[in-house]
Chains A and B, each alone.
Chain A
């Protein structure tokens, strides 16, 4: 049991570190180090522009999408090398946010189901950041039940005509391409009538509208499709096989080992260590200490759980299911920490201004944003189902709509 690199890993780390040291956009380092939660913002420039420049530089140096094959713009690196790269990239990794969906989900799906010509054309541009991709899965009627989606694609000669609406699409407003799942046959059970495509987001009939969220920010979009034409050669997988194709995409989403999720604990520990109450420092209060300790062991437990996964990668093994707990634990933690940090501030805890001296509104912002952490990328309830079914081997839910043709499934509750 040790934390040391193997000789090959150490060599890779040293090469990566040298390259980053010589090439990273250091003028943003301080700014990037500060923002710990949610979307990253830069004072004077758009994160997408700065990110694109960094991504391009990495691609030119052979450091973009490094676990991808070289012919598609990657480096052919091993999974552990990718983790080492992420560790070394450090705060500059935050600049890759606009490309993560493309690299983590859309790219692997194209790689698995696209034609060779498509792969050679699209993947290197995705890897170099020239093209940004988004993922068009969720719909107003299909969130956790994503197979309940209603966006229609109808065949018309060599093309498909798409009509419908997607929602919660991150980055749609700056994306060049999208991975789109549609319903092509409503007369068969819901999982069987789906087909996957990719499309140019500048296609005629695509309209992107930002969503104003509960926390007041605008990070997601609705995307409307009105008679959008997609050529049949942009289909990924067979007609009616879209559900299986989407499983590839989602499986890749959950493989994000080494990317640490924010828990709010470091901020909370610092806050409690400096907050002077009428009875002394907050951290000297027994009730506060008890809560802090429970959060501390959750945060360290998550950290060492990811170390265990990294160790499996290092040995060339597939990591076990332990890593599925990350988002489930950290989402609730963020919410609880924010709430207690505000409790410690008393009546002033409701003040959210960045000029408030106590914590500059950071916990208030955390509280307002935390609900999305428990919903996006799989709700807490879906994640518990996944653990129960895939890790513990408990039976799947009884699905009353499983064998019913999609167009016969009830669409209204309370009738």
Chain B
């Protein structure tokens, strides 16, 4: 058994960590947090030059053609550094959807641009409240145009194109849903930035008014494709969450070692030690579930739906747990704008919702376990 990343993959992780430590210090995250930029364009360019944006994109489409295990280790570092770039929307959602369902022409047009950092993509799925569900998709497609409103759309304000889930039928079945690809710069789409809890990863409202759209994948198979895209993205985002969990735990540990109160480092008090030990437990469980997700993703295993839900739940819980207790370990200073704790807290709680909420994925996991047991 070799339930671990290879030495080459670990080297890639180290390279990504080193690169991000240099190019994405907390100061860079804060520039976006403070609204000085919509995302870190220099960093985005650098990630492209390092080959990280196209690491799982085949060489034929301008990528590095490495694979999804390599993408997992990079995702972990992106999460650890809180990189303020449209990485998850472009790489986990748009690129994965194109790889799964795109025509040769669509792949040729967009994947090389993703790999080179020239194009930002996203998935326009949600329409207000609620979790992923075919019933919640009202946006209408007819005659090659789309009409309706999507929100929140991750990185929608900076995206060049979007994969859009639209209604093409009214039978009440999953086959009413189809996917479309929309060039957001071609007109017919109004874009509005939305205020959200984590400004380092923007959210937008997209209003489609007779927007020109080309089908992505077979008509009527949109829901099945979406489910696959969400599962794949769930594993990748879970690695970001694990990276963030580890960093939040380290920040709490370091502060507990440095901060003196009552004449001793606060890390010598059991109340603080045990809190940090519990954070370690959460982060470890999440990492192990993520490794299983990575295996399932990289081998296209039949276990992927269950593995993805497990990774997603475990990593969401860990990041929320570690980021909130990191603030608690810091005490009052943890509640200042100046300290970085809140940036992790914001990211943890935003990513907890971005592919559907925790309760949605809990539901999915139980359904999938039952299906497996029934089979």
| Interface residues contributed by chain A, number (CB under 8 Å) | 50
Write the chain B residue with the least CB distance to A293. B362
Q: Could you tell me if B366 and A388 are in contact, using CB atoms closer than 8 angstroms?
A: no
Q: Specify the chain B residue showing the minimal Cβ separation from A298.
A: B285
Main secondary structure of the interface of A (DSSP, over half): helix
A307 touches B1 (CB 8 A): yes
Given contacts A1-B3, A297-B365, A398-B268, contact A391 B288 (CB under 8 A): no
A397 and B1 in contact, given A297-B285, A304-B291, A325-B284 (Cβ under 8 angstroms): no
Per the bound structure, the CA–CA distance linking A325 and B137 in Å amounts to 43
Q: Establish whether residues A307 and B313, one from each chain, have CB atoms under 8 Å apart when the complex forms.
A: no
Closest chain B CB from A388 CB (angstroms) = 4
Cα A322 to Cα B278 with chains together (Å): 12
Q: How far is the CA of A180 from the CA of B163 in the complex (A)?
A: 69
Asked if residues A301 and B273 are in contact (CB atoms below 8 Å), the reply is: no
Contacts of B272 in A (CB 8 A): 394
Distance of A110 Cα from B288 Cα, bound (Å): 36
Interface membership of chain A positions 267-294, coded 1 if the CB is closer than 8 angstroms to chain B and 0 otherwise: 0010001000000000100100110111
Instruction: State whether the Cβ of A48 lies closer than 8 Å to any Cβ in chain B.
Output: no
CA distance A3 to B373 in the complex (A): 22
Whether B370 and A297, one on each chain, are in contact in the complex, defined by CB atoms closer than 8 angstroms, is no
- Please determine whether A387 and B281 come into contact, CB atoms closer than 8 angstroms: yes
Alpha-carbon separation in the docked complex, A308 to B4 (Å): 7
> In the bound complex, do residue B289 and residue A397 qualify as a contact, i.e. CB atoms below 8 Å apart?
no
- Tell me whether A394 and B253 are in contact in the complex, defined as CB-CB below 8 angstroms, given that A1-B298, A269-B369, A307-B1 are known contacts: yes
Quick check: is A403 within 8 A (CB to CB) of the other chain? no
Q: Are B1 and A311 in contact (CB under 8 A)?
A: yes
Q: Residues of B contacting A396 with CB < 8 Å?
A: 268
In terms of DSSP, what is the predominant structure of the interface of chain B?
helix
Task: Give the total number of A-B pairs whose CB atoms are below 8 A apart.
Answer: 160
In the complex, chain A residues 234-289 whose Cβ is within 8 Å of any chain B Cβ: 269, 273, 283, 286, 289
Verify if A161 is at the interface (C-beta below 8 Å from B): no
Given the complex, which residues of A lie within 8 Å of B300, measured CB to CB?
A: none
CB of B171 within 8 A of chain A?
no
B104 within 8 A of A: no
How far does the alpha carbon of A305 sit from the alpha carbon of B276 in the complex, in Å?
19
Q: Which residue of B lies closest to A1 (CB)?
A: B295
Q: Are A392 and B277 in contact (CB under 8 A)?
A: yes
| Residues 308-349 (chain A) with a chain B CB within 8 angstroms | 308, 310-312, 314-315, 322, 325, 328-329
In the assembled complex, A356 has its CB within 8 A of some CB on chain B? no
Answer yes or no: B109 CB below 8 A from chain A CBs.
no
Given A304-B288, A304-B289, A305-B284, does the pair A392, B365 have CB atoms closer than 8 Å?
no
Check A294 against B362 for contact (C-beta < 8 Å). Answer: yes
Kindly identify which residue among B285, B317, B373 contacts A329, using a CB–CB cutoff of 8 Å: B285
Q: Among the listed B69, B273, B369, which residue makes an inter-chain contact with A1, where contact means beta carbons less than 8 Å apart?
A: B69
The answer to whether A314 touches B317, judged by C-beta atoms less than 8 angstroms apart, is no
Q: Is the CB of B288 within 8 A of A392?
A: no
A305→B295 contact, CB < 8 A: no
- A293/B365 in contact, CB under 8 A: yes
CB of A352 within 8 Å of the partner chain: no
A384 CB within 8 Å of chain B? yes
Contacts known (A289-B366, A297-B314); A387 close to B285, Cβ less than 8 A? no
B19 within 8 A of A: no
- In the bound complex, residues from chain B placing their C-beta under 8 Å from that of A2 are 1-3, 295
B residues 274-333 near A (Cβ < 8 Å) are 274, 276-278, 280-281, 284-286, 288-289, 291-292, 294-295, 298, 309-310, 313-314, 317
> Taking the nearest CB of chain B, how far is it from the CB of A174, in angstroms?
36
A144 at interface, CB cutoff 8 A: no
CB pair B362–A397 under 8 Å, yes or no, is: no
Give the distance to chain B from A96, nearest Cβ to Cβ, in Å: 22
CB pair B288–A296 under 8 Å, yes or no, is no
Q: What are the residues of chain A within 8 A of B270 when measuring CB–CB?
A: 381, 384-385, 397
What distance in Å separates the Cβ of B237 from its nearest Cβ neighbour in chain A? 15
A23 within 8 A of B: no
Q: Say yes or no: is A302 at the interface (Cβ < 8 Å to chain B).
A: yes
Please indicate the chain A residues that have their CB under 8 angstroms from the CB of B285 in the complex.
297-298, 301-302, 305, 325, 329
Q: Does A410 contact B (CB under 8 A)?
A: no
Query: CA of A297 to CA of B359 in the docked complex: distance in angstroms?
Result: 13
Q: Is the beta-carbon distance between A395 and B3 smaller than 8 angstroms? A: no
Contacts of B366 in A (CB 8 A): 283, 289, 292-293, 296
The answer for the CA separation of A394 and B254 in the assembled complex, in Å, is: 9
Question: Who on chain A is nearest to B72 by CB?
Answer: A1
A355 interface residue per 8 A CB criterion: no
Partner of B363, one of A289, A294, A296, A397: A289
> Which of the residues A300, A302, A314, A387 comes within 8 Å of B1, measured between beta carbons?
A314
Flag if B1 contacts A310 (CB, 8 Å): yes
Q: CA separation between A285 and B72, bound complex, in Å? A: 34
Q: In the complex, which residue of chain B has the Cβ closest to the Cβ of A383?
A: B277
Kindly list chain B residues whose C-beta atoms are within 8 Å of the C-beta of A325.
280-281, 284-285
Contact for A300 among B267, B276, B292, B373, CB less than 8 A: B292
The answer to the question of A389 belonging to the interface, with a C-beta cut-off of 8 Å to chain B, is: yes
Contact between B362 and A289 (Cβ–Cβ < 8 Å)? Answer: yes
Chain A residues, CB < 8 A from B37:
none
A322 and B284 form a contact (CB under 8 A): yes
In the complex, which residues of chain A have a beta carbon less than 8 angstroms from the beta carbon of B276? 388, 392, 394
Is there a chain A Cβ closer than 8 Å to B173's Cβ?
no
A413 within 8 A of B: no
Q: How far is the CB of A311 from chain B (nearest CB, A)?
A: 4
- Asked if residues B313 and A293 are in contact (CB atoms below 8 Å), the reply is yes
Question: What are 14 A-B pairs with beta-carbon distances under 8 A?
Answer: A3-B1, A292-B362, A293-B361, A293-B362, A297-B310, A297-B314, A298-B314, A301-B285, A302-B285, A311-B1, A311-B2, A384-B274, A391-B280, A392-B273
Identify the 5 closest CB pairs spanning chains A and B, nearest first.
A301-B285, A293-B362, A388-B273, A304-B288, A384-B277
- B-side residues, CB < 8 A to A, are 1-6, 69, 249, 253, 256-257, 264-265, 267-268, 270, 272-274, 276-278, 280-281, 284-286, 288-289, 291-292, 294-295, 298, 309-310, 313-314, 317, 359, 361-363, 365-366, 369-370, 373
